[in-house]
Each structure stands twice: as structure tokens, then as C-alpha cells.
Chain A
Amino acid sequence: MLRILRLAIAALTLLGLAGPASAAKEREVSIGLQAAITSMDPHYHNLSPNNSMMLHVFEPLIKRDANQKLVPGLAASWKAVDDLTWEFKLRKNVRFHDGSPLTADDVVFTLKRVPNVPNSPSSFATFTKPIVDVKVVDPHTLIFKTATPHVLLPSDLASVMIVSKLHGEKAATEDYNSGKAAIGTGPYKLAEYVPNQRVVLKANYGYWGGEEPWDKITFKILTNPAARVAALLSGDVQMIETVPTADIARLGKDPKYNVVDKVSNRVIYVHLNQSTDKAPPFVTDKSGKPLEKNPFRDARVRKALSVGVNRDVIVDRVMEKKAVAAAQLLPDFFYGTSKKLKPAKYDLEGAKKLLAEAGYPNGFALTIHGPNNRYINDDKVAQAVAQFYSRIGIDAKVETMPSSVYFTRASKLEFGYMILGWGTESGEQGSSLRSLLATFNRERGMGVTNRGRYSNPAFDKVLETALVTMDDKKREALIQQAAEMAMNDTALIPLHYEVSTWATTKGFDYTARTDQYTLAMGLKPRK
């Protein structure tokens, strides 16, 4: 069978039909992405792969650099006039792909469109909601009013793409997908969008920020990691994102390839279910009988479970060094992180002692739950953690499942010990503390993803003060204080920060980013 095929192929090769995929043309590149782009409507789905793709075609008022620091985008400058008033100045030389100029009206239209996209499964309204009133001072100056002091407004607006009023007024999501309404200001124009398959972009030669090095970019959706690597190795694409950790070493050694990486804004952590007085589900004594008290409500148990994990070994062996041991929710060069917090040191004896002090000298039993298709090597991390727990006298089982099942059950608090991940798109730790550790109150938007139901009024108070403090320095100090309170109380167990990786064929340079976005604007031919 294979021989016949080989003969056929040999024949084709002779005829000149086959042969290795022809080397990419001069100013064209193909890039392999790991997840589907669900729409080209920039306000339809607030999802990282989409947000990353949109930045090629559209632009926000404020952009984030490779380290997620805010830098001017379509707005040349902005400032807080008072606690409730912000002034934004637009760039004057910006034109949409069709040549029409960008004005304040487009911004007003965008803010109106954002909360009103039909069928949106995850809208951007969260970012525009704080703005209660907009005044157009002149075609390039806007005044935004908020009801309460909202320090994160610039960061929020960095997530909102500005669309053209002219093309967007009657446009539905389909019109953006077809390209009809996908008229932005970005460095690339949309040429073709095929759901779950590819996105093709063409250069926008009149881009205000200067010309990009590529005429044409094809993004291919290659969800299977092995398929992605194979596509790079066989020359079908010139760059891939999220290189499987198993292949990084090999690609790094090969002179034909170039691997770049950067620590990301995503922390992998453990939520310990503290919602009940009695032991949470899947936490029992060693014979399987229920425990009287919830061990996770005891800070000593939480600490034991934290110092009982050897993060260095996980980083070294499981993550193949493409991870960084974590001490808080973001690596410590981000805003609001505390340099005083260090990753918990592995301490076998200390963990045993803490458990004994807490009344569990012989340990107890728990099941580690985690996803198996969401984070880098997630199921392997779960098993390694279980290995470490067996050494401090805790019987740990491991159950991993696809995220479709996992997250629903985790949100219903059906688990006791949950491995989760959190990427901080805003790039400042206050918002992460608010979502993951503030006392659960969804109506107020506090602790919305606090699946451990950790609750500490003293911590809440510091954090809430921080959230309404306009002064950047003072606010940062308060967020740092809150982070230290929570982490010293082991409110959750941070394990590691993921390191994002990209691999290119030789002859390219890629500027790695902390937000895990893959942007063609960061890809340059090597000189």
C-alpha cells in the first residue's frame, strides 16, 4: 500500500508536481495559530485569540506594548481632568482603510455599538459601561464622564477597538466576517476569513504608523500541537505560537529554527474550596469517610499544601523550564505586584509539621481536579502535584477532564481542590485580586471567579480602597499590601507563570509578548 503511494509520489516528483512546499514568497508569511478566531467583528466576542487578531485590522485608543504597559494608540494623549472626568485627544493623521479620516464621531459610535452586538456570547460592555456620558469637544477631542472614580478606564479602553461609523452603522457581525464592514485603521486589511480554518490579511500601505514588512499574511488554525509543529518543520508555515514544551529543546538546538519566549500574564494556581464548614467534595479522611471540619479553612493546612509542592521540579521537569515559579498572580514586573513576595520554598518537613499542628498528623485524602486541554501540560502538572502530596502524607487522586465539563462543575463548586489558570489582560494585579480573591459577590462584580470562596474582610477593605484611589503611586502601594495579605494567608496556591513560546524558521525575529498575543507586527525579517 505505502509502496504504491511512494511510487506514485516519486512519479509526481519527477513530473515536477510535488516537491517541498515552495519557500514563502519574499513578503508573504504563514503563521500557525493554536485556537480558532470566532469572528472578525471586533465587538462580538471578548476572547484572547480574537482580540489578538483584531489588533491587525483595528486599533484601540490606547495600546499595550510587549509588556502590557499602556502606550498611545489612536489617542495621542489622555488625562484625568478630575476624579470623574477624562479627556482624550485623537491623532490627526489617522485614516481608515477606505481613506476616510478618523474622528470623534467614530469613537462615539463605537461606544454605542459595543453593548448592542446581537447574540454576543461575551461582550466588551464591561469596559465601556463605566462611561456614563461622552462629550465631543472638537473632531479630535473627547470628554468621558464616569459615575464613580474609575482608575482603570485607560486600561479598559485598551481592549475596545474603534470601528468606522460610516461602515459600521448598519453592519451586523456577518458584515465584519465577510470583510464588508471590517474597515479599520490598523496596519493590515482583512482579505479573507474562513471560520475555524484561516484568516488572510493584506498590507495597508497607507498606515499612519508606517509600512509593515509584509504584503500578505496567512494565519492558519492548527489546533493540534503536533500538527502545528509538523507544519513548521515541513515549511508550510514560517511561525507557530505555543510550541509544545516537548519540542522546544529540539527546535532550540536546530540551527534552522529560532525559538523565542517570554513569561506571560497567566498564573496557574489552585483554588481550595472553603465554601463549606464541613469538608468540601472529594476531601475525606484516608478511609474515605467525610471530615468533620473543612481543612481548607485552616491557614496552616493551606500553607502546608503550598510549601509541600516543589515548584522548581515542576518548572524543570514537567514544564521543561518554560515556566516560572509563582509567588502571586502576576510576575513581579507588573503593576501592583509586590517584590516582597517570593515563591513558597519546598519544605517537606515543614509541611508535615503544619499538617500535624492543624490536627492532621496522618494527613487526609483529596482528589486533585483539573482540565486536560486548557493550560500548558495541565494534566501533567496535576499528577506531579499529587506525587508531592503523597510524600507529606496526603493521599491524592487525580481526575482531569476537558474544559467543557470541568469549568461548569468547578463553578458549581463540585470539587475541593481545583487547578486553574488566570491571565491578567489589564496587566495590573488589582483586577486579578478583585476577580479571584475578593469575597464572592457577583452583583457588585467582586470575586466573580473566586471558586475557592476565600473571604477576608480586612483584605477586602484594603482592595476596595485601592480600586477607587486615583493616585497611581498610592493605589499601587494599596494593591501590593492587599496582595501580601492574601498570599501570606495562602488564600490560594500560586504554582507557576506560564512562559509563552513562539518558533520561527531562521531569518525572522519575533518580539515576544506577555499577553500571549501573536501579532504579525512583532515579526520582522532578520537583516
Chain B
Amino acid sequence: MAGLVLLVAILVVGVLAPVISPQNPYDLAQLDVMDSKLAPGEKSPDGRTYWLGTDDQGRDMLSGIFYGLRISLGVGIASTVFALAIGLVFGLVAAYFGGWVDTLVMRIVDIQLSFPAILIALVLLAVLGQGVDKIVVALVTVQWAYYARTVRSSALVERQKEYIEAARVLALGQARVVFRHLLPNCLPPLIVVATVQVAHAIALEATLSFLGLGLPITEPSLGLLISNGFQYMLSGKYWISFYPGLALLLTIMAINLVADQLRDILNPRLRK
């Protein structure tokens, strides 16, 4: 329950960011580099107060976090949903049909898993340029194979069980067997992986930003805020990466608390 409240609150903040933020942190014209690196509550030369301090460009951290939440959640959820959908289809198909279909899909998975995210991100950056959509593409490309393998492993077991045999004997359509019978029973471990992977996707985006391959530097996500603040940690300007880190922690906690509930509700076996 607490998780749901927290998640709703975070989503509301994310959606309403442009309305409730003291500043538009993505508009460079509204930033003043003279106000850079102010500590929380410290007065700026022209008398303004930034409650969570400012970053190296004079960006208000509070506004940055509100806007960053939007981007991080968007990137994390979008990439997970797409990757999950693609992985699910390929994994189920591979397990259900077996034979050369399985071989083909799994060898593609092998290739995909060994392809480093930074290389994919770098190729996309060079060919397509920078942007949120490109980051989502990169994350989906990196992650779908992971789901495909996880789904397949569960489906391989389920495939052998009596109810699937029964469904086959009843000559139900193949699509029906796969999606109505096989899928629901493969979901539980997948949901665990997926909820962790939303967090992982957000963290991966942060890592790509840390390596200079992420989002445009002027439109920071939580991850980019953290990695920008990273270099100020040893010098004691903790707030530049601490507060975004806290926001990220709360967000991921909320997602996982809700997902844990959701899994119990969706799980056909726990309902019995």
C-alpha cells in the first residue's frame, strides 16, 4: 500500500514537473552559471535561494530532479516494456517450437548478449545522433535477449506439463496455447526479472551517461544528474549527486514494492 502511494506520488511529480518546478532546468536561458554549485539553502548573488542547491551550470537541483524523474521513469519503463515484449515473443516461440527455430533464436540471443551496451550506444549515437528515443532503442537492443532467455527457460519446463499437452490434444490454436496457457505460467520469474530490470535500465542509462554516451547533457535524467555530480563527491559538494540518488532510490523502491504485489496478484499458482 505504502509502495503504491509512493509510486503514485512520484508519477504525479513526474507528470506535473513543468508546473511545479521553480525553474525549467532544460532551458539554458533560465540558468545562470554565476549561481553554479550553490549549497542547499545558500543565497545566490542576486538573492535567490535554491533549496536543494545547484549543479555546475547553476541548474536548480529540485527542478532538475523533478524533470529528471520524468525522463528516467520514461526511459526505464519504455525500454523494459519493449524489451519484455520482444523477448517474450522470441522466448516463447523458441521454447514452444523447439528445433531449428529454437536454435536460430538462441544463437541470435548469444550474439546479442555478448554485444556491449556501450558499443551499441556508440553506433547509434554516431548514426542516429543523440536523444531519449535513441537511448531507449539502445537499451531495448541490449535487454530483449535477456528476457528471451529467461522466458525460454521457464517455458521449456512448462511445455512438458500435462495442461499444455492437454491443450494440444484438444487441438487448440497454437497461438492460443502459447499465449493463453504457456505465457501466464511463465510470468512469475519474468516479472521479478522485469521489475529489477526497470531499475537496471535506469542505472544502465546512468552508466551510459557516465561514459558520455547517454542523453543530451542539457536535458539530464536522474542518472545523468548523478553522474554529473559524481566528480564533485570527493570535494564535498555532495548535494549534486546525493539528492538525485535519493530520488532514484525512492523511485526504484516504489516500483519494486508495487511490482511485488502485482506479481502475487498475477501469479496463477499463488491464487489457488
Chain A positions near chain B (C-beta within 8 angstroms) = 225-226, 229-230, 233, 244, 246-247, 249-250, 313-314, 317-318, 372-373, 379-380, 382-384, 386-387, 390-391, 396-402, 404-405, 408-409
Contacts and interface: CB of A to CB of B under 8 A. Distances in A.
Contacts of B213: 401-402
Contacts of A400: 212, 217
A405 B129 CA distance: 10
Given A226-B234, A318-B56, A387-B33, 4 more contacts: A313-B33, A379-B212, A391-B29, A402-B125
Contacts of B165: none
A397 B236 CA distance: 31
B174 interface: no
A398 B126 contact: no
Nearest to B236: A250
Contacts of A401: 125, 130, 212-213
B218 A383 contact: yes
Contacts, number: 82
Contacts of B31: 387
A405 B122 contact: yes
B218 A386 contact: yes
A318 B233 CA distance: 16
Given A246-B237, A384-B57, A387-B29, A379 B122 contact: no
Nearest to B123: A405
B230 interface: yes
Contacts of B261: none
A226 B217 contact: no
B33 A233 contact: no
A387 B28 contact: yes
Nearest to B131: A399
B235 A372 contact: no
B34 interface: yes
Nearest to A397: B218
B219 to A, nearest CB: 10
Nearest to A230: B234
Given A313-B33, A387-B57, A401-B130, A229 B217 contact: no
B231 interface: yes
Given A313-B34, A373-B212, A247 B57 contact: no
Contacts of A405: 122, 125-126
A372 B234 contact: no
A317 B34 contact: yes
Contacts of A244: 231
A398 B33 contact: no
Given A313-B34, A396-B28, A383 B126 contact: no
B231 A384 contact: no
Contact of A379 (B36, B37, B217): B217
B98 interface: no
Residue of A379, A391, A408 with highest tally of chain B CB at under 10 A: A379
A226 B230 contact: yes
Contacts of A226: 230-231, 233-234
Interface in B1-49: 28-29, 31-34, 36-37
A380 B212 contact: no
Nearest to A247: B235
B232 interface: yes
B184 interface: no
Contact of B130 (A314, A380, A391, A399): A399
A413 to B, nearest CB: 16
Given A373-B212, A398-B28, A233 B234 contact: yes
A399 B216 contact: yes
Nearest to B56: A380
A317 B36 contact: yes
A311 to B, nearest CB: 12
Nearest to A225: B231
12 contacts: A226-B230, A226-B233, A233-B234, A317-B33, A384-B33, A387-B31, A398-B218, A399-B130, A400-B217, A401-B213, A402-B211, A404-B122
Contacts of B37: 317
Contacts of A404: 122
A383 B122 contact: no
A372 B33 contact: no
B61 to A, nearest CB: 16
Contacts of B230: 226
Contacts of B233: 226
Residue of B28, B56, B129, B213 with highest tally of chain A CB at under 10 A: B28
Nearest to A370: B217
Contact of B29 (A313, A382, A390, A402): A390
B212 A402 contact: yes
A404 B231 CA distance: 22
Interface in B227-248: 230-237
A408 B231 CA distance: 28
Nearest to A313: B33
A398 B212 contact: no
Residue of B33, B34, B213, B230 with highest tally of chain A CB at under 10 A: B33
Contacts of B34: 313, 317
A398 B216 contact: yes
Across the A-B interface, the 3 shortest Cβ-Cβ residue pairs: A390-B29, A372-B212, A250-B235
A244 B237 CA distance: 14
Contact of A246 (B32, B129, B211, B232): B232
